[in-house]
Amino acid sequence: MINLEELTIKKAQELIHSGEISCRELVSIYQENLKKKNKDINAYLEVFNDAFEIAEQEDKEILKGKELKPLTGIPLAIKDLILIEGKIASAGSRILEKYRAPYDATVIKKLKEAGAIFLGRTNMDEFAMGSSTENSAFGPTKNPYDLKRVAGGSSGGSAAAVAMQGCLASLGSDTGGSIRQPASFCGVVGLKPTYGAVSRFGLIAMASSLDQIGPITKSVEDAEIVFNIIKGKDEMDSTSVEFNPLLAEKSKNSLRIGLLKYDRKGVDKEVNDAIDLSIRILRQLGHKVEEIELPHIEYSLPCYYIIQPAEASANLARFDGVKYGLSIKGKNLLEDYMKTRAEGFGKEVKRRIMLGTYVLSAGYYDEYYGRAQKVRTLIKKDFQKAFNQFDLILSPVAPTPAFKIGEKTEDPLQMYLSDIFTVSVNLAGLPAISLPTSSSSLPIGIQFIAPWFREDLLFELGKQYEKAARG
């Protein structure tokens, strides 16, 4: 009998390669498990019925003696805003509830070519706006460790699907922490790649200068496997770049790690304990850990919550009831727009559209959006200086473990503060990884931040850390 908790992509590949299990059997095991658990957790919005058919096709290829692809037979879950041709991509919103994708996102195309099998689409905060998946139009996702608590957001469904053994890995998107924070809350690994490292073509855009697709997995090695398949330049995304292998220096035995200085009083004791534990582990591994202060990082959250709503309000203008999605008829075209958007968008999406249109409006543009972009440049420069001194930066992922469902829904500011340690990474376009650390009853993750395009450092240290933390 396969122990799903210990099964990784690499181990599953070995089982398929040796003939101990077929692709169809592996898909069947995961489908049975997720169907049992999903009614309580609500990680999946839809389980695809063609997964068996695709798995059988893969098995036929194996019987013919065809060489196995990097992800042959590996069951994945996909966040509900990444387009899969012919499948619904609702972005967790009523306005796109019946919208079927006309083409594959570039990451989906690459995963299909690598032999992956998609089990279904996962729940999320509507249009990725939220830190708890409570803003989904289709109900919240619950934390597999405690059903009274949130799974995090906005990729809560993707993180919960991996944590509940409902898939081997999943894809999420990260605009201000939406991969790393749910990974931390659900005790799994979450990678936010460098901006431009992974194509965003086929991702329903929220904030185009911040969004990034990345993997959520059970191990650092699995995150590396998926990342290496989905990374690279794409002619359909002008912001994507080709990886330069010359950027990677030779690995060092001892890394210089900067511990981000933060107000420990504003952070839960369990999170501070997890950081202290991580420092001990890193020093035992022979790495140097010293405190570092970034002068402008305290402005990250207000800066983010000006830029992100501004870009979101522009991106969401396309949902007007004319081109695609929900369409509610009024007396004239303007009333069509107003009725469709009033009915189709949820409360948080409306809030951010209003914030965004306000900061972009005449007379306020320079005062808010223009100034926020200048602060963003200062934050980026702070990181550049820090990486002249340190190889990596260590920080908490979130100020608390998973909070209770409903605890912060009436106070948007408290909810936004969940992103306090993650948004600076997106503003600067850096790569970062969330790793499970906690020894308390609820999962807690720590975050490593690397220089631009140095995902290799995150994987190298992540594997060392993972081994030491488990041992």
Query: 154 an active-site residue?
Result: yes
| Predicted local distance difference test score (pLDDT) of residue 470 | 81
pTM of the model: 0.97
Q: Which of 158, 178, 219, 424 is catalytic?
A: 178
| Predicted local distance difference test score (pLDDT) of residue 251 | 59
Q: Name the phi and psi angles at 436, rounded to 5.
A: -65, 135
Distance in angstroms between the alpha carbons of the first and the last residue of the chain:
25
| Predicted local distance difference test score (pLDDT) of residue 37 | 97
Going from N- to C-terminal start, the domains of the chain cover 1-471
The per-residue pLDDT for range 359-409, each reduced to its tens digit, is 999 889 999 999 999 999 999 999 999 999 999 999 999 999 999 999 998
Q: Which of 90, 93, 154, 173 is catalytic?
A: 154
| Predicted local distance difference test score (pLDDT) of residue 413 | 85
| Predicted local distance difference test score (pLDDT) of residue 362 | 87
| Predicted local distance difference test score (pLDDT) of residue 253 | 81
Q: How many CB atoms lie within 10 A of CB 389?
A: 10
Q: At what angle do helices 9-18 and 23-41 cross, to 10 degrees?
A: 140
Q: Return the C-alpha torsion angle 454, 70, 210, 422, nearest 10.
A: -60
Regions in the chain scoring below 50 on pLDDT: none
Q: Using an 8 Å Cβ cutoff, are 238 and 205 in contact? A: no
Residues 6+ apart with CB under 8 A from 452: 194, 429, 430, 431
Q: Which of 79, 110, 142, 192 is catalytic?
A: 79
Query: Which CA distances in Å does 409 have to 140, 404, 406?
Result: 11, 10, 5
| Predicted local distance difference test score (pLDDT) of residue 65 | 86
Query: 142 an active-site residue?
Result: no
- Looking at domain 1-471, its CATH superfamily turns out to be Amidase signature (AS) domain (3.90.1300.10)
Query: 79 an active-site residue?
Result: yes
